[in-house]
Structure 1
Amino acid sequence: MIAIRRASQKSGGARRTDGHNGPVTEPEQPRFTWSESPVPDGIPVTQVYLWALDPDDGRVLIQDRGLSLVRPHSLPGGRPEPEDGGDPLRTAAREAMEESQIRIDAERAVYLGYQLVEGDPKRPGPYAQTRYAVPISGYGPIGPDPDNGRVNRRFMTSLDRAPELLAWGEHGRAQAAAAKRAGAALGIPVDDPAPDGYRDGEKARYLVCNDYGMGALWWWVQARGAREIMERVADVVVIHRVETVRQAEDWDLEEVDIDASDPNPLSDPKAKRDEQRRRPGFGACVGRGTVYFRRPWGESGHTPWIGEDGETHYLYEIGEDGYRTRQVVEFAEGPAQKTSEDDWLFNPPFDLYEPEWAEYEIDRSEFETAWDAAVPAPDYED
């Protein structure tokens, strides 16, 4: 547990204004203690705050409330209200929408801990302020908070920098560290976030690559999020690597709006995605972490390759980002062969939104059995 006591600030001594002599007694300041355990019974929860993480670029949302305030930066959150029914995540979702106009994926929220407040002269007895890490599931246009009419800008930054902006001291750094662990466990790229920046409008600028053939095509795409691009455009990947994004600023790339009228550079892959969306299994394997498949070899995945020895199958271990990490090739005759990610460093990711993936999915135990039985694939040289 981390205990922080905020000391009162004095400047040149205090002077009484009540007509009495003697020194002024400074009011007692609240004491704050951070703990990563459940809130003890009998301690009321007066506030719920969110470390709201963008699941695509690994940044956390910090509310910029304006320089006129003593504390211009904050996390989205607030007090429970009767309509929340005692559910802290309903409180969090409501406050996040009111203050920052974001939607959260409450089902994936991770409880981080609570801040115990004691000695508050405005409230008798100790009380708790809970914290959650949660993925952001959508952004709306920014607007005024119905409670105070203030518009909070959305500043997206790394979890490493967030404590500096919040100015919560040691307990703020402890919360950010807990949020970073939770984000990594959720598969969010918190260790390699996108560059800092405001996200006030409905759309932001993303670096997008099509690399499913002999060459690559690159664009800047204006969209409401990386997930929207992946859901609406087939055979592309959104690039979040900071170094690559910075390098691309010097490239002469076309800029395309996700909603641009046809024809435009995204017309064909968008038409392909629209056709896929109408079929069963679309997106069934997305957002589930590492997944496993046994798929017949073929250019489209539908037509197996029938060689001299019969049908060949590929068993894949594929991460949430679409990149395979391990592979087993089963031949009709002869031993199965296995290879690891080092063999495909330059290969593009698989598009897990494709409906076909759902029919080829297997469980991890089936893949591990095949992996253990396979022999290392031979090295090939040109």
Structure 2
Amino acid sequence: MDSGERPDENASIEWHETSVPPGMPVTQAYVWAIDPDDGRVLIQDRGPQHPHRYTLPGGRPEPEDGGDLLKTAAREAMEESQILIDTDRAIYLGHQVVTWFEKHPEPYAQIRYAAPIIGYEPIGPDPDNGRTNRRFMTSLERAPQLINWHETGADQAKAAMRAGEELGFRVGDPSPEGYRDGVKERYLVCHDYGMGALWWWVTARSATEIMERVADVVVVTGSRTVRRVADWDLDEVDIDAADENPLTSLKATRDAQRGQPGFGALVGRGTVYLRQEWDEDTEHGEAFYLLEIGEDGYRTRQVVEYADGTAGKTGDWPFNPPFDLYDPVLGRAEVERAVFEAAWEKAEPEAYDED
């Protein structure tokens, strides 16, 4: 729910990248919602008839939020712009203190978050006022000009830019601006288990939404592969389908992972390095695997450290299924690159027996 209040020229507004002082009331929570795929931020377009046409999703806390202002921001983002934001990866940016001398002589706070968009619903009316807002996707550099919050808006956008960079999004080089009003698209999705794979056509709002909501899959974008499977008789699955379908168990796995320590920690980070204990004994005894994994989830190099003190390394596998970078177990297994490189330097070349 929009508060309906917009401080006038007689108001004092100060931006602070700190926590709200104890005892100061918080009247609003807004979100700089960023698309992880293209680095753009969502600006609400309330139409040319509105005196303040462009704004961010957000509004007043409601009892149903239970005092959780991030819940307020997420609820308002859905009600006003019909988007799902990832509250697990949301970043608190700060607050602005407003003193509207004529109507509110006591200062109050309005807080701001930055958060990834993980789903787009079709646009529809805000249940509070019946108005349907369009979603204008633009750069964080241009956003302050649209919302016209003057210096405080520019400062907030800079803080959101830093948050986007921290999350690994391409906020410095976003896609061209334009409207995104929630039309679902068809994606080729694969569950690759090395010795084989399962394939589906999945209808969703973005590739990121699929990865966020379905465990152990990849969205295949290579044009050659898409053309190759075009004539295959693949199941068609809607990401929101409630009935039992091929994605049901994989969605349940993802739901169980969400919120665990390490969930999504490796996403958007580029190349990452892991160290894991192998769950079976080898001919050399127990073993630890050190893995170099690219941003697409595929390993590029590997070192195996054995209990007898020997170590082998390889960069080639007959079967190389992708790793799910959202998996919290993997997120908790991360090591520094220097740890991997030291092990790689000491290990001997190792080849798989193809017999």
User: Taking structure 1 as the reference length, what is the TM-score of the superposition?
Assistant: 0.63
**1:174 corresponds to which letter in structure 2?**
D
Q: Deviations over 1:154-175 (max 9, x none)?
A: 1222222222222223322211
Distance in 2, matches of 1:94 and 1:362, equals: 30
Distance in 1, matches of 2:129 and 2:207, equals: 32
Correspondences of 1:360-371 after superposition (within 5 Å): 363-364=333-334, 369=339, 371=341
Distance in 1, matches of 2:162 and 2:216, equals: 31
**What are the ranges of 5 or more consecutive residues in structure 1 without an aligned counterpart?**
1-5, 8-26, 214-219, 268-272, 297-301
1:70 aligns with 2:51: yes
Task: Count the aligned residue pairs.
Answer: 319
Q: 1:199 to 1:304 in 2, by over 3 A?
A: farther
**1:105 corresponds to which letter in structure 2?**
D
Correspondences of 1:198-347 after superposition (within 5 Å): 198-204=179-185, 223-230=204-211, 236-237=218-219, 263-264=233-234, 274=247, 277=250, 287-289=264-266, 290=272, 292-294=274-276, 315-318=290-293, 321-324=296-299, 327-328=302-303, 330=305, 336=311
Distance in 1, matches of 2:40 and 2:336, equals: 36
Match of 1:158 in 2: 139
Q: Deviations over 1:134-170 (max 9, x none)?
A: 2223222211112221101112222222222222233
Q: 1:158 to 1:350 in 2, by over 3 A?
A: farther
Report the 3-state secondary structure (helix = DSSP H, G, I; strand = E; otherwise coil) of the residue aligned with 2:44.
strand
Report the 3-state secondary structure (helix = DSSP H, G, I; strand = E; otherwise coil) of the residue aligned with 2:130.
coil
Q: 1:265 to 1:312 in 2, by over 3 A?
A: farther
Match of 1:20 in 2: none
**Contact 1:294 / 1:361 at 8 angstroms: preserved in 2?**
no
Cα deviation, residue 84, structure 1: 2.7
Match of 2:174 in 1: 193
**2:233 corresponds to which letter in structure 1?**
P
Report the 3-state secondary structure (helix = DSSP H, G, I; strand = E; otherwise coil) of the residue aligned with 1:316.
strand
Cα deviation, residue 212, structure 1: 11
Match of 1:13 in 2: none
Match of 1:116 in 2: 97
Distance in 2, matches of 1:313 and 1:113, equals: 43
Q: 1:114 to 1:332 in 2, by over 3 A?
A: closer
**What are the ranges of 5 or more consecutive residues in structure 2 without an aligned counterpart?**
1-5, 195-200, 238-245, 267-271, 350-355
**1:316 corresponds to which letter in structure 2?**
L
Q: 1:120 to 1:349 in 2, by over 3 A?
A: farther
Match of 1:169 in 2: 150
From 10, 30, 40, the counterpart of 2:21: 40
Report the 3-state secondary structure (helix = DSSP H, G, I; strand = E; otherwise coil) of the residue aligned with 2:105.
coil
Distance in 2, matches of 1:109 and 1:183, equals: 10
1:352 aligns with 2:302: no
> Considering only aligned residues, what root-mean-square deviation do their CA atoms show, in Å?
5.0
**1:263 corresponds to which letter in structure 2?**
D
Report percent identity of matched pairs: 53
Q: 1:352 to 1:167 in 2, by over 3 A?
A: same
User: Taking structure 2 as the reference length, what is the TM-score of the superposition?
Assistant: 0.67
Match of 1:53 in 2: 34
Cα deviation, residue 319, structure 1: 5.5
Q: 1:202 to 1:126 in 2, by over 3 A?
A: same
Q: 1:181 to 1:146 in 2, by over 3 A?
A: same
Q: 1:194 to 1:124 in 2, by over 3 A?
A: same
Q: 1:35 to 1:323 in 2, by over 3 A?
A: farther
**Contact 2:85 / 2:117 at 8 angstroms: preserved in 1?**
yes
1:375 aligns with 2:345: yes
